[in-house]
Amino acid sequence: MYHHALLDLKPTNVNSLKLIDFINGFSFGAGLFETIRINEGIPEFLDIHLNRLKVGLQSFTQIESPNYELLEESNIRSAVEIFLNENDLFFPLKSGIMKMIVADGRVLNLFRRLPNDLEVKQNQGVAIDGINSNFYRQYDKSLNHKLTSYVRQYECMQGSIVFVNEKSQICETPNANIFFKFSDRWATPKTHAPCLPGTIRKVLIDLKDIEDLPIYIEDIHLDQIEQMEACFLTNSVSYAIPVVSLLGKNLSDSITWSKKIRGLLQK
């Protein structure tokens, strides 16, 4: 998947990376990462991603922090610009995905192209037709929640599902936060549902409203689905993917709203 990389902001071949350089991150999970979209050579929302990394490093003192210069925004932008210019065969539009990994005092930036089906999903939407209630518990921010990453990213990616907790409250999907439109507001689940506090989720919440409809962070129950008028998924790669059907509820207006959301995010 990843063939090109920067190690401590210097170009390197992925095949030359050594496990010993990330032994604690690999063996004990003592590391952090951010997934960042690059548009026309610009890492989007880089300041927010870097702030999350720095807060994480302050919170998890077991993770060896890299030199400050390696997480300096201007240094990263410069290194990415040079990298993309030198790899224009693989990134002709200078757009793609950068995964920034911090572990063992090192910073590894991996690069890949955008998903082939991204535009189709943005234009046609996706259907969520299943529920998984086996893993999420309210207020669970423990290691157990983090260990569901295997399930979230692999086992459940084979089907379109939404995670709910023991109170039948909606949490998130395997790789995205989720927003719902009601007649009088937009709503997204609270982090204690639990859900991951994604970057795009934060950007939208900070807007406070979408076309004069306020955005609320609240408990959202499965029995509220019939009241929903639209729904979209957010992450740093897709920005906003419309959900045209949610557990049998038709939400075709989601396509129009998701396009508007992506327009707001790309201003």
pLDDT value for 91: 77
Highest averaged pLDDT of the listed ranges 150-154, 174-178, 203-207: 203-207
pLDDT value for 4: 80
pLDDT digits over 193-250, tens only?
A: 989 899 999 999 999 999 999 999 999 999 999 999 999 999 999 999 999 999 999 9
pLDDT value for 67: 95
- pLDDT of residue 26 exceeding 90: no
pLDDT value for 49: 96
Domains of the chain: 4-112 (3.30.470.10), 118-265 (3.20.10.10)
- pLDDT of residue 154 exceeding 90: no
Q: What is the mean pLDDT of residues 186-195?
A: 94
pLDDT value for 265: 92
Residue 266: band (very low, low, confident or very high) from pLDDT cuts 50, 70, 90: confident
- pLDDT of residue 144 exceeding 50: no
Q: Where is average pLDDT lowest: 26-35, 64-73, 196-205?
A: 26-35
Computed over every residue of the chain, the mean pLDDT equals: 89
Q: Where is average pLDDT lowest: 53-67, 81-95, 138-152, 219-233?
A: 138-152
- pLDDT of residue 145 exceeding 70: no
3-state per-residue secondary structure call for the chain: CCCEEEECCEEEEHHHCCHHHHHHHHHHCCEEEEEEEEECCEECCHHHHHHHHHHHHHHCCCCCCCCHHHHCHHHHHHHHHHHHHHCCCCCCCCCEEEEEEEECCEEEEEEECCCCCHHHHHHHCEEECEEECCCCCCCCCCHHHHHCHHHHHCHHHHCCEEEECCCCEEEEECCEEEEEECCCCEEEECCCCCCCCCHHHHHHHHHCEECCEEEEEECCEHHHHHHCCEEEEECCCCCCEEEEEECCEECCCHHHHHHHHHHHHCC
Residue 89: band (very low, low, confident or very high) from pLDDT cuts 50, 70, 90: low
- pLDDT of residue 141 exceeding 50: no
Percent of the chain exceeding pLDDT 90 equals: 70
Q: What is the mean pLDDT of residues 4-24?
A: 91
Question: pTM (2 decimals)?
Answer: 0.89
